[in-house]
Homo-oligomer: A and B are copies of this chain.
Amino acid sequence: MCRFVAYLGQPVTLARVVSEPEHSLIVQSYQPAEMTSGTVNVDGFGVGWYNRAIDPTPGVYTNICPIWSDRNLPGLSKHVASDCIFANVRSATPGQGVDQSNCQPFAYRQVLFMHNGYIENFRATLMRPIRDALRDEYYTTIIGSTDSEHIFALFLNNLHGKAVSLDTISGAMVETIQQLSVWAAERAIRIALNMAITDGACIVASRFANAGSAPSLYYAQALSFFPHGTVVASERLFDDPRWMIVEENTIIALTNQGDVGRKQITEGKNR
């Protein structure tokens, strides 16, 4: 399990998203409030952001240490501002080692990706089926050992050949969830797929589990802390009645104009 936050709106510093909220990712790393498995999130972290005036691809900063002990982050997050920010703290599943290659968010061209959840017994169950389904160009992007990175590769495979937009991201995300649901059903394993994906202009996020409760997911707009943006987060970053829960088995789609769309996920059918 991990905890993540995504921001889209008027530019704010990385610090505003990562460390300044009362129940920030810093706090969630050592004292998360709504984890369904694991106790702390100290096996690395990552931050991604866009400066599309300079470059369409995101900057990404990751490290394998606990987020609070990283010495570069305070300066970096005070000096960098962006209109689209992803941040993540990691709790490594046993067997998915603490390598920098395993720290999220993952980037591919202009796309950033984070996953909070799991594929049950991943290496013995869906690692190989996922890889076997991939085109070479996505197969070869995988350098770490996490289920998350493999899920991202499968998403990219589903996005293949389409122009990147809110619609194509949403479509490929749903397709990815449906595929994985089918494969999981065939093997009678549990999966949880809270994801966030962005191209710098829109964010699509999912809350999904094929059994039991999905990990928590919230979003909010027009917060006094973030007056001109939308935030999506695993846990509420502070008390505020404007936080809304994302329903289970749902994706939400945010534009940088402040629009929010919702869509029920129809689970893949086991043919």
A171 at the interface (CB under 8 A from B): no
Chain A positions 82-114 with a Cβ under 8 Å from a chain B Cβ: 92, 97-101
A183 at the interface (CB under 8 A from B): no
Query: In the assembly, what is the distance between CA of A100 and CA of B140, in Å?
Result: 20
Q: Could you say which of B30, B69, B100 contacts A39, with CB atoms under 8 Å apart?
A: B30
Query: In the assembly, what is the distance between CA of A123 and CA of B142, in Å?
Result: 10
- Contact (Cβ within 8 A) A31 B39: yes
Which residue in chain B gives the minimum CB-CB distance to A103? Answer: B71
B contact residues around A131 at 8 Å (CB):
131
Question: Closest CB of chain B to A126's CB: distance in Å?
Answer: 11
Count the copies. Answer: 4
Which residue in chain B gives the minimum CB-CB distance to A132? Answer: B132
Query: In the assembly, what is the distance between CA of A54 and CA of B101, in Å?
Result: 32
Which residue in chain B gives the minimum CB-CB distance to A76? Answer: B59
B contact residues around A31 at 8 Å (CB):
39
A43 at the interface (CB under 8 A from B): yes
* Known A76-B59, A100-B97: A69·B43 in contact at CB below 8 Å: yes
At the interface with chain B, which of A2-10, A60-68, A198-206, A262-270? A60-68
One digit per residue, 1 when the CB lies within 8 angstroms of any chain B CB and 0 when it does not, for chain A 34-68 equals 00000110110000010100110111111111100
B contact residues around A187 at 8 Å (CB):
none
Q: Could you say which of B54, B64, B78, B139 contacts A55, with CB atoms under 8 Å apart?
A: B78
* Known A72-B60, A124-B136: A51·B79 in contact at CB below 8 Å: yes
B contact residues around A92 at 8 Å (CB):
69
Which residue in chain B gives the minimum CB-CB distance to A40? Answer: B30
- Contact (Cβ within 8 A) A79 B59: yes
* Known A101-B99, A128-B139: A62·B66 in contact at CB below 8 Å: no
- Contact (Cβ within 8 A) A72 B61: yes
**Beyond the given A54-B79, A59-B76, could you list 15 further A-B residue pairs with CB under 8 A, ordered by the A residue number?**
A13-B54, A30-B39, A40-B42, A43-B69, A51-B79, A58-B75, A59-B75, A60-B72, A61-B75, A64-B65, A65-B98, A69-B92, A69-B98, A71-B97, A124-B136
Q: Please report A residues at the B interface, Cβ cutoff 8 Å.
A: 13, 30-31, 39-40, 42-43, 49, 51, 54-55, 57-66, 69, 71-72, 75-76, 78-81, 92, 97-101, 123-124, 127-128, 131, 136, 139-140, 143-145
